[in-house]
Each structure stands twice: as structure tokens, then as C-alpha cells.
Chain A
Amino acid sequence: MSAPDRALERVLAPFGRRAARVLERRVYGAYVVLRCADPDGPRPQAGQFYMLAATAWGGGDGERPFLPRAFSVLRSGVAHEREFLIEDVGPGTHRLCQLEPGDDLLLVGPLGVGFAAPADGRRPLLVGGGVGIAPLAIWQDELGGASALLGFRDAARAEGARLLADAQVATDDGSVGHRGLVTDLLRDQLDRDAHAAVYACGPPAMLESVRVLCQQLQTPAQLALESGMACGFGACFGCVVPTRHGYVRLCVDGPVLDASELETALVAGAGH
């Protein structure tokens, strides 16, 4: 996909941090979905993200968290509601996973640039890994349906596949679906479909496999990457990833990048 295809207008964020009331907390195996009310925020693009914090922040493991955490929006089905998918992997996500209905989520967003529509005649194919399936759910909603290939570590995480429609699943331990990698499923799919446009989000190693495979088969691919971020709006310069044109800030120039811009999707420090 050429660069102009990615030059879509971003949805602007209201200036400043605002409180969003948690309406619902649902558990999907190892994951928590928080649904919250965001009456002052615009409807985001699929692939845009928010910086999230709880009102009780700090004082956890290692006297953290201190900074907000970046999350792609999972779903925005009702105009003023947002859903986020969270896995408890550290002091920030731990605190977010403990939120209950009635608590406030502090958020800044929507941020970044999301997915762009496939070129004419291309059939969208969604490829997700772990908690990285989040932006693919809202994109599947907006596309009005798309095939999804999702990979998870184990059965508890594979519960997340219920968040997308008609997903083919792979698990590392074979407890659900194909035993092996989601990129095994992708290779099979691309062998049968020469007109796919791939949209992928997941851990760095998965994204790198997707990038290499799509490059070999000359399949266009947009990758939603992850990097440690302090701010989410271009202030800290902390979230850079190397591209063919030098470093770019993932928060303002991503998090979705065209795979052809990257020499690698193995971003140092991501997925940590």
C-alpha cells in the first residue's frame, strides 16, 4: 500500500485528561474488558488509542504505576461508550483490572492514527495475538465483517476470541484450535487468497513474522505496533520506532504503520 493511502485524517482528542465512568467490567478468561462512558469525547477511529489511568495510581509494586498506560480502543459500539481490553501484566494494568462499575477511568484520547481502508478489490484479513486483538474488534465492526485469525498462549487467553466474530484460533499449547502460531494460519490463508489486505496487532515477534510473510507474498499489511509511552501526544519522544525514513514517534505517526515502512517490527522494549 502506498504512503498516500495511510494519510487519513485523525480524530482529534479533547485537550486535557478527563474522567470516564466505568459502566461494566467483564472477564474473558485472562482478560478484563472495561466499558466506560465518555460523553465529552468523539468517536475514535479503529486503531486509535487512549492513555488510561485510575484515580488511585501509584503505591503498587515497586511504588508504581506513575505514568498512564496506552490502550487501543477495543470497541465503540454506542456513540459515547468505549471499551478497553486489559491483561494484568504489571502495576498499571493490575490497577486498571481492579476497577469496578462506578469507578472513574482517567483518559486522554483518542490519539494516534488508525487503520486505513483496504485498496479496491482487497479483502481485509485480521491477524491478532494476545491482548493485541483489541483494535481488530472495532475494525471488524467498522468493516462490517472480516476474517480474523487470532493466536493466544493458552485456553484462558483464547477466551478473548469471543470478542471478534468468526475467528480462527491458534494456541501455543494446542488447548484451543490449531496448535502453533497464528502465522501458520496466515500462511495457509494467503496461499489461498492473493487479494488479501492484512491488518495485524500483537507481540513484536508475531508482527515481525506477519511483516516478513506479507513482504514475501507482496500482500499489503498495516501493523498496529506497541512501544513504551509516557504521554501519547508527541511530547516525550520516548516511543520511537525505526522506519525506512528514520525514527518516528509511534504515538503521533502511528500506532498503525504500513508494513512497507518498516525494516523490522521488533521494536526494542515493546511487549515487555
Chain B
Amino acid sequence: MTADPAAPPPIPTELCGIELAHPIINASGTFDAIAARRVFGDTLTRRFPFAAFVSKTVTVAPREGNPPPRLWETPAGLINSIGLPNKGLRRYLAEDLPELAALPVPLIVNVMGFTREEVAELVSAFSERDEVAALELNVSCPNVETGLVMGADPGEVSALLARVRPLTEKPLIVKLTPNATDVVAVARAAKDAGASAVSLINTIRGMALDPKSGRPWLGGTTGGVSGPAVRAVALAQVHAVAGAVDIPLIAMGGVQRGRDALDLILAGATAVAVGTESFRDPAAGTRISDELAALAANSDLSRDRTSLNC
């Protein structure tokens, strides 16, 4: 609970010009700071477990999300089919952004549009807000005009960045989907079109059948697999992308311990995001950061790592 005075200090990190107290942040859609404050009170703010807060995906129009059931437990993991519920851009700006700005860490807002023009509207709107340190683009959805999943196609990513990059001076992070034929090609396209950083991996498509009926369990039929079950996939994709692009990487996928975070950093990540593990322990981010600092203190691999990637 309380920090050990003899424990190594957290590792300060710079991500696209944003100063972070340590390299551990949350994965989009895995922590609702506003709901958590209702549950845990002011302690949440005083002991905020992440060095930056990444919002759940915001869309232009409000979304109710997918019909339940939305969850299925897998071996060492979870399939979720949540469907990006959110109150939409207008209410998010008015209601949530002021509350999130009170957090003691930089705010990264994740946005998704079903057309390039929708993404442009979102990027423009958040670009004007000083509370927002950076934007993350969720490209794991189809472009309704072309039918292609934006993040699965290098050409789509190039065209999207060409449209939205001129709209903001804030860092633009492209969240890569692992459900692509060639993730490295998509990462290169993002970098070449002006992405400030890439984050990976998003969840891997999966499904479960209801053992009683034999029909799809999830209300959304398929969902995204996360948790330790995907950790090895994440490490391989981070390693491959880090070898191909020279922009910062935010790595995630099944991180439970400082060791897992260190692995992703050794593979080339600047920052590491925690998602599913926070469901098991809301303070997991702090524990992982502490464990990472202890491992780094005993290793000569870590101290100058930020200079390798930024």
C-alpha cells in the first residue's frame, strides 16, 4: 500500500514531449476514472495508478454499446464485446473533459470515426482543448465509405493521417490493430504520414459459444481477447514494429508484472499500458511501475532507454 522508502524511484519517461512520472499508463477502455472516483473517492486521485490517463473511445454520436452478454473468461484472459459505449463528442466535451482534467496526470483522448470526416471533426474539437495532451486514433473499425478496416490497410491509414495530421499540433498516436495482415506495413504507413507514435496491440478477435445452446455467447457475436493469453503475441508485434519505425511505441498486451513491462521496453517500447490486469486490481498500475523500477535498478538495460526510442 504505502511506498517503501528504500524502493527505487519510478523511472521518469518522456513520451512525444509529454513528461510522465513513470512508463506505465492505462490501455484505452480499461479504466473509467470518473466511475472509479465514485467508487474509491478522492483516494483514487491521490494514488492515481497511471502516469497518463487514456480515455475510453469517444465517437461523434452517442453509442449505447453492444447487447449483453459482453464478457467471457478464457484461459488466462478475457473476451470482451463492449461496443464502444460513450456519450458522444458534445456531451464528452461538456461533462467528462472538465472532470478528467482534474486528474493529476496528462490526459490522452482516444477517438474513433466511421469516416475520415468524423475523425477530422473529433481531432479538431479536441485539438482546441488545453486539457488534452495527446490524441490516440482508434482505427480498429471499418471505414463505412470504403468498407475497409482503417487500421488493417496501410493505404487507409495514410489517407486518414493525411486528412487529420494538419488539424492539430498535439501528438497523434495511432492504435494499431493486431487483426491486420501486415502490422509492420501499417505502422510504416502511419509513421510516414505523420503519426507521432503508435500503440499496440489492440485486442485480438475471438469468440465463445454458449455451452448450453451452442450459439455465440457474446451479444456482439465476436469480441476482443485480452489478458496474459495474448502477451506473447504482443511482444512479437512490438518487436517487429520497433524494428521498422523510429517513432515512440506504447506497448500493451497481457501486462501483469514489472517483468512483462520490462520485456516490452526491451523490445522497443517507450511506455507500457496496463488493461485487463487493472480489472483484477484497480491499483495494478502502481504495483507494476514499482516492480519495473526495482527490476530496472538491478539492470543496466534501462536507464538510457528513452533516448533509444524518442
Residues of A whose CB lies within 8 Å of any CB of B are 10, 12-18, 53, 58, 62-68, 108, 111, 227-231, 233-242, 246-247, 249, 252, 267-269, 272
Instruction: Report yes or no: B282 in contact with A16, Cβ–Cβ below 8 A.
Output: yes
B69: which A residues are within 8 A, CB to CB? 228, 268-269
Chain B proximity of A35: nearest CB distance (Å): 23
Please tell me if the beta carbons of B217 and A269 are within 8 angstroms of each other in the complex.
yes
Q: Does B39 contact A (CB under 8 A)?
A: yes
List 3 A-B pairs, minimum CB-CB distance, nearest first: A234-B35, A269-B69, A16-B283
Residues of chain A lying within 8 A (CB to CB) of residue B129: none
Write out, one digit per residue, whether chain B residues 224-243 have a CB within 8 A of any chain A CB (1) or not (0): 00011000000000000000
- Residues of chain B within 8 A (CB-CB) of A63 are 75-76
- Among A17, A62, A66, A235, point to the contact of B30 (Cβ < 8 A): A235
In angstroms, Cα B78 to Cα A70, docked, is 16
CB-based A-B contact count at 8 angstroms: 132
Closest partner residue, chain A, to B31 (CB atom): A235
Give the residue name and chain of the A residue nearest to B67 (CB): A268
Considering only CB atoms, which chain B residue lies closest to A40 in the complex? Answer: B1
Chain A residues within an 8 Å CB radius of B64: 246-247
Q: Are B35 and A249 in contact (CB under 8 A)?
A: yes
Residue in A16, A53, A229, A237 whose CB lies within 8 Å of B82: A237
What's the nearest-Cβ distance from chain B to residue A259, in Å?
19
For the complex formed, measure the closest distance between the CB of A47 and the CB atoms of chain B, giving whole angstroms. Answer: 15
The answer to whether B30 and A236 touch across the interface, beta carbons within 8 angstroms, is: yes
Q: How far is the CB of B148 from chain A (nearest CB, A)?
A: 27
Q: Which residue of A lies closest to B30 (CB)?
A: A235
Cα distance, A17 to B49, chains bound together (Å): 13
Bound-state CA distance A68–B278 (Å) is 11
- Complex Cα gap A63–B64 (Å): 33
Question: Is B282 a contact partner of A108 (Cβ separation < 8 A)?
Answer: yes
Distance in Å from the Cβ of B71 to the closest Cβ of chain A?
Answer: 4
22 sample A-B contacts, Cβ–Cβ < 8 Å, listed by A number: A10-B38, A15-B40, A15-B47, A16-B286, A18-B1, A63-B76, A64-B75, A66-B75, A66-B76, A108-B281, A227-B68, A228-B72, A229-B71, A231-B278, A231-B280, A236-B82, A237-B85, A239-B68, A241-B68, A242-B68, A252-B39, A268-B68
- Which residues of B lie under 8 Å from residue A267 when comparing CB positions? 68
Contacts of A234 in B (CB 8 A): 32, 35-36, 38-39
Min CB distance, A106 to chain B, in Å? 8
A-side contacts of B286, CB under 8 Å: 16
Check if A16 sits within 8 Å of B1, measured CB to CB: yes
Instruction: Verify if B219 is at the interface (C-beta below 8 Å from A).
Output: yes
Most buried by A among B217, B278, B282: B282
Q: DSSP class of A's interface residues: helix, strand, loop or mixed? A: loop
Within 8 A of A (CB), among B61-95: 64-65, 67-78, 80, 82, 85
| B44 CB-CB contact with A under 8 Å | yes
- A252 — which chain B residues lie within 8 A by C-beta? 35, 38-39
Expressed in whole angstroms, the Cα–Cα distance for A18 and B282 within the complex equals 11
Chain B residue with Cβ nearest A63:
B75
Question: Which of A14, A66, A268 sits near B227, CB closer than 8 Å?
Answer: A66
**Cβ–Cβ contact A238 & B35, under 8 A:** no
Closest chain A residue to B276 by CB distance?
A230
Please, which residues of chain B bring their CB within 8 A of the CB of A240?
A: 65, 68, 70, 85
A161 → B minimal CB distance (Å)? 28
Residues of chain A lying within 8 A (CB to CB) of residue B166: none
Does B78 contact A230, Cβ atoms closer than 8 Å? Answer: yes
* Set of chain A residues within 8 Å of B299, measured between Cβ atoms: none
- B44 in complex: contacting residue of A15, A66, A67, A246, CB < 8 Å: A15
Give CA–CA (A64, B71) in the complex, Å.
14
Q: How far is the CA of A16 from the CA of B31 in the complex (A)?
A: 13
Closest to B81 in A: A238
The answer to whether residues A17 and B75 also contact, given A111-B39, A234-B38, A238-B80 and a CB cut-off of 8 A, is no
Q: Determine whether B43 belongs to the interface, using a CB cutoff of 8 Å to chain A.
A: yes
Residues of B within 8 A of A68 (CB): 279-280
| Contact A247 B85, beta carbon cutoff 8 Å | yes
Inter-chain contact A64/B73, CB cutoff 8 Å: yes
Residues of A within 8 A of B98 (CB): none
In the assembled complex, the Cα of A4 lies from the Cα of B220 at a distance in Å of 34
Interface 1/0 per residue, B1-18 and A, CB below 8 Å = 100000000000000000
Contacts of B35 in A (CB 8 A): 233-235, 249, 252
Contact A17:B82 (CB < 8 A) given known A66-B227, A238-B71, A268-B68:
no
Q: Whole-angstrom distance from the CB of B204 to the nearest CB of chain A?
A: 16
Q: Which residue of A lies closest to B218 (CB)?
A: A269
Mark out the residues of chain B between 39 and 66 whose CB falls within 8 Å of any chain A CB in the assembled complex. 39-41, 43-44, 47, 56, 64-65
User: Measured between alpha carbons, how far is A15 from B285 in the docked complex, in Å?
Assistant: 12
How many angstroms from the CA of A64 to the CA of B35 in the assembled complex? 28
A230 cross-chain contacts in B, Cβ below 8 A: 71, 78, 80, 276, 279
Report yes or no: B73 in contact with A235, Cβ–Cβ below 8 A: no
Q: How far is the CA of A159 from the CA of B228 in the complex (A)?
A: 40
Quick check: A66 and B74 within 8 Å, CB to CB?
Answer: yes
Contact A237 B65 (CB under 8 A): yes
